[in-house]
Structure formats: structure tokens, C-alpha cells
A and B are shown apart, each in its own frame.
Chain A
């Protein structure tokens, strides 16, 4: 009898091509996603060494980070960004890689696109030159970000070298109360274990509260695994996963679907399997969460207060918090509720899916964004944009006074021309509140789409539960 294994062990074990004693494993990669920012130097390396893309059929490219969101015209991009986008188009043509380029009706943020097209499937290994590749782990895939040199390795060999990470199970028990979402769960986890609490580990999210999330919520959870420092985050596939995938363009069809289902049903962690670490969180009393600082771990319930650095015993942490509060312009002990807000961003690979937009629209329907607030809604993909428009969500946003854009990363990383001005406060549904992330000097509060929309209406940080009566 084989000993009980974790979901991670099963996926890892099925992808080790070869491992020399004491060396890292050569790991086979089933799906390689590519975007414009982290790929040009990798393609250049292939050319310089006279190599080709070994499996173009397992390689898919999209444009998302530096694409304009006010137009689908390449001319709307600044000259450097345009050059980068053209370089990807050229590389995709030259090496025979399928590209969802600017103007393609299915183009989207790489981590929204893969699942939406059914490219992302349980049991796969998936990589991309992008740290939020962890998103795809929501399907029970082993998915993680790599650097550009490794992008080159995967292009050339469909493999990479890797040491086996450790495992950590995060069990979320209890039931979420209304107004509390997957985003709040993951912010609470990072606040608890810290931004390097998961370092060297692959997380598995388990428990009742995870099982009852839809795929959009599960992707939000897995997306931010990297913000806890983890290599990846995984969720066992179940009927919710299979229903999501059934009929998608690149999902298996017909008899192949039945075979795939049989394989996928064997993936979940066996009873009795042992993890290197276990963390347990009860979400029954969880409130909507908000960050107050410059790391995603600096988060408290929306009804909470900014902590006092002088009460932090550890000197390095104390310095970090002092610096964060100075950057954010917040006072120790001040309440978060009521803090002024100038910008609201709904979008990104964390919360830019149709379900996220529906949540924001639920709060905004029949209401107005406060006059001093600029709210920007950026769908995660062009498919999401069309679906949202078919449901009339775009009209809800526009009527409320928000801007409705084309798909892309936009204000999550502020490299496409969209940016929050210095000193302004933004509530953002994205994943990073680092200094300058949304523009030099921009001050970011990370929150769920519900909290973001509620804050847009009040023009101040607001508790979304008051809007859901």
C-alpha cells in the first residue's frame, strides 16, 4: 500500500522527469503562460543560442501589463510599451506561439485568461514569468511564478530545475458571514502568518469555508499565496471545479472529459497525509479586512484601528511599521472607517473576474460614487468585459460615475499610463500595497470589491455590510 499523499505530492511526483542525487528535480511543465514584460529577454536568449520553443502547443502568450485600457489601439501605448508589445507579437509569430494580442476578443490578464479558456486544469504544472501564477492553483494545479531565465529554460526544454518545496495546510473552518469574501480570508491569513510565513512552502487551502467558495473566490485565495511568501497555493478539485471547466474551449471534451474526471477525482489529499506545517483559521467571526500599511500583511478588520508602532516589541518590525505609517500618512490608533479616499480601483488578477464585478455593482446599483472620488473599473479580460456588458454591469458603473475600461493590469501595477497621483488614497481590489505600486507616492488600501465599492460611495473607508441590507 502506498502511504497517504498530499495533493501537492501527487502533482509533483507525476512531473519529475529526472532527479540526480542531491540535485534539484527536473520538473516537466504542462502549460507555460507568457506575457510581454518578462519574456523578451528569454526569447532573445533562444535566438542567441540557436534554440526553438520546444512545445509551442504548451505555450500561450497574452498582453496585459503594459496595454492601454482606454483604447485597443497600439498607438495609445507609450513608445516603450508599444515596442515591448510589438516584440511579443514578433516573438510569438517567429516561434509559433499562440498569442492573445491587443484587439483579440479573448485577450486578458494572464491569470484570468488561462482558467477562462479552460487551459488551466487540475493536476497540471503551470508556470509563468509572473508571481501571481499561484492563482491557477485554485484548480488543483501546481502553479508558480518564475524569473525570465527560467522562462527561457521552459521555452527551450519544457522543464525547469527545482527543489521540492515543503507543504503547509491552511484550514479555514466555519462559514463566512454576508459581506465577507475570499479576499478577506486571504488578507486575514497573511496578517496572521506574515509576508514570509509561507516561504519555501506550497500551501493547500482546505476546510469548509474553502469548499463553499466558487471558483472566482478560490482564485482570489490562491492568487495571494505569493503575498504570504509561499511558492504556490493549491485547492483540491471538486464538483465546483469540474462544473466550472465543463465545456470551456480547451477543456477535454467527450470521452476525454470522462477520463480526465477520473484522473482529477484521484488528486485530493489522502486522509492521513502529513504536511510539514498546519495553520488553522476560523472564519465564522471574520470581518471585511483592510490594509493600512505597505505590505499585504499589514491588515486589520475594517472596524479596527491603525496599530501603534511603539507597541511592537521587535525592532525591525517596529521600524517597518513606522516607515509604512509615514508613507501612508496615517496616525497610530486612528480608526480606519471614515479615512478619506480619493481613488477606487476594481480589477486585477485578484478581483477582476465577472463575480467580482457583480459584487461591486451590487453595492453601486442605484447609488453614486462620491464626487471627490475617481473610480476605475477594469475587467480582468475582454471576455469578462463582454459578459459584464451583457448583464448591464457597465451601465451600473457608468451611472454611478465610475469609469469602465478595456481589460488589463492597469492600476494594479501602474505601468500602462494609469496611475494614482502622489499622496492620494486608493482603495484597490488588487494584491500589493507596496510603496509606489499604484504610482509614485500613491497610498493603497487593499480590500474586497464590496469594500472598495462601499468606500467609493462614501468617499471614505466604509463597511460594505451596511450596503447589503
Chain B
């Protein structure tokens, strides 16, 4: 997994609340058996028109945000299904961080497992960022995990919140599995004690 320290790229604004994982990737894209090709289905219902052509009004199709690796969105992002495909689709597309006032629990954890930073900002910070992006579309901002800050080229700084354990994983690009495997002797002791 790619370690995360800081990224500097434009932001794509997705001003919607309650974006669920069916929105992020509809179920018909879940029939594969690996993690590849999922970016094709990312936000498919909004990105494409009924005839399959790109909808120019959807932010991901807007050339002003080309190369953006940071997604800015509303509260409760990633609710609904547990599908990790939602995170894989976002990371395959190139996203490194999602900024939102809040995330659904399972999505939040899935993101951290895949090196995608789910940064929780205060609701008024998110509102200010939306306004800023609208005024400076395509301008690069820095999301810094070391200092837990979003920094704008115009000087504003917004702090974000992240579980310290998750932060360490992201900084190291490390995996929970190594941690769990190191503790297998404790698991065996637990099983003996409880007769499991």
C-alpha cells in the first residue's frame, strides 16, 4: 500500500449529502472477482447519460478538475452497503483523499484499509471549502496527513480529524493484517481459555 504523507492536487466538489455506496458504484459493476476495472463504474449513474455518453454537468467529467485526487463532499459519505468496491473504484480512479463532515462507519474503515484518506472536517470548514473551490476551480490544495491539515494556496488552513491508529497505518502504508498476524499467540490463548 502506498504510504500517505501529503498530496497537492485540485479538488473535485460533489455537493451532495448521504452519497451511498450504490451511488459510488452500482451493483451491476460488482460481478468481477478482482479489484480491477472498477473505476469504470465509479458514480456510473451520475457520470453517464442514459445513452452511455458522459454527462458534462457531472463534476468528474468537468475538464477544470482534471487530475484532481481529492474529493470534497457532503455528510454521511459512503452509507449503505459494505462493498469495498466503492473504495477500490475511487482509488483506481486516482483519488487519495475524501473530505467530508462525516463518513459511514464501514466505508471509513474500508478507506483506511486501502490507503484512501477519509478526512473529517467541521461542517463550516466543508462549506467554506465548497465556496472556495467554486471561486478557484482547478486550483491545487494540499492535504497533509502529518499535520492533519488542508492548506489552500490562498493561505487558509483547515484542520481535520482522524483516528490516531488509522493515521499511523496511512502514514506507514501498513496493513492491519500484519498486526493481527503478530498477535496470533494471543488468539490461540484466547481460544484455549474460552474453549473455542
Contacts and interface: CB of A to CB of B under 8 A. Distances in A.
Chains A and B bind each other: yes
Interface of A: 14, 17-18, 22-24, 26, 28, 30, 37-38, 40-41, 44, 49, 65-66, 78, 80-81, 83-84, 87, 129-131, 145-150, 152-153, 156-161, 163, 165, 195-196, 199-200, 226, 229, 231, 295, 316-317, 319-320, 323, 413-415, 422, 432, 434-437, 440-441
A255 to B, nearest CB: 14
Given A320-B17, A434-B23, A38 B83 contact: yes
A80 B80 CA distance: 24
Contacts of B104: 196, 199, 229
11 contacts: A26-B183, A66-B31, A80-B32, A147-B110, A150-B113, A195-B79, A320-B17, A422-B50, A432-B22, A434-B80, A437-B27
Contacts of A26: 180, 183, 186-187
Contacts of A153: 176-177, 180
A41 B187 CA distance: 24
A87 B33 contact: yes
B105 interface: yes
A149 B186 contact: no
B82 interface: yes
A229 B76 contact: yes
A105 to B, nearest CB: 26
Contacts of B135: none
Contacts of B91: none
A254 B108 CA distance: 44
B196 A147 contact: no
A81 B75 CA distance: 33
B34 interface: yes
B58 interface: no
B186 A84 contact: no
Contacts of B45: 435-436, 440
A260 to B, nearest CB: 12
A177 B50 CA distance: 44
Given A131-B80, A229-B79, A436-B26, A161 B20 contact: no
A152 B165 CA distance: 20
A320 B74 CA distance: 11
Given A146-B82, A149-B84, A156 B177 contact: yes
B105 A199 contact: yes
A18 B186 contact: yes
A211 B187 CA distance: 36
A131 B102 CA distance: 18
B7 to A, nearest CB: 22
Interface in B73-90: 74-76, 79-85, 87
B180 A199 contact: no
B18 A195 contact: yes
Contact of A22 (B50, B84, B164): B164
A415 B84 contact: no
A432 B31 contact: no
Nearest to B179: A161
Contacts of A28: 187, 190-191, 194, 196
B114 A157 contact: no
A153 B178 CA distance: 9
B16 interface: yes
Interface string B60-101: 000000000000001110011111110100000000000000
Interface residues of B, number: 52
Question: Considering the complex of A and B, which 5 residue pairs feature the smallest CB-CB distances, nearest first?
Answer: A147-B110, A40-B33, A80-B31, A147-B84, A149-B113
A435 B177 contact: no
Contact of B183 (A18, A130, A415): A18
B125 to A, nearest CB: 15
A90 B187 CA distance: 28
Nearest to B184: A157
Nearest to B185: A18
B59 to A, nearest CB: 15
Contacts of B110: 147-149
Nearest to A81: B31
B187 A159 contact: yes
Given A18-B183, A23-B165, A157-B181, A131 B114 contact: no
Contacts of A156: 177, 180-181
Contact of B22 (A17, A149, A152, A436): A436
B187 A84 contact: no
B136 interface: no
A60 to B, nearest CB: 16
B30 A37 contact: yes
A65 B75 CA distance: 29
B56 to A, nearest CB: 19
Contact of B17 (A163, A317, A413, A434): A317
B157 interface: no
Most buried by B among A18, A160, A319, A441: A18
A295 B165 contact: no
Most buried by A among B110, B176, B194: B176
A30 B196 contact: yes
A148 B76 contact: no
A413 B180 contact: no
Contacts of A414: 27-28
Contacts of B180: 26, 153, 156-157, 159-161
Contacts of A22: 164-165
A5 to B, nearest CB: 18
B83 A37 contact: yes
A161 B76 contact: no
Contacts of B196: 28, 30
Contacts of B187: 17, 26, 28, 157-159
A415 B28 contact: yes
B131 interface: no
Most buried by B among A24, A158, A161, A422: A161
Contacts of A81: 31
B34 A44 contact: yes
Interface string B1-27: 000000000000000111010110011
A312 to B, nearest CB: 12
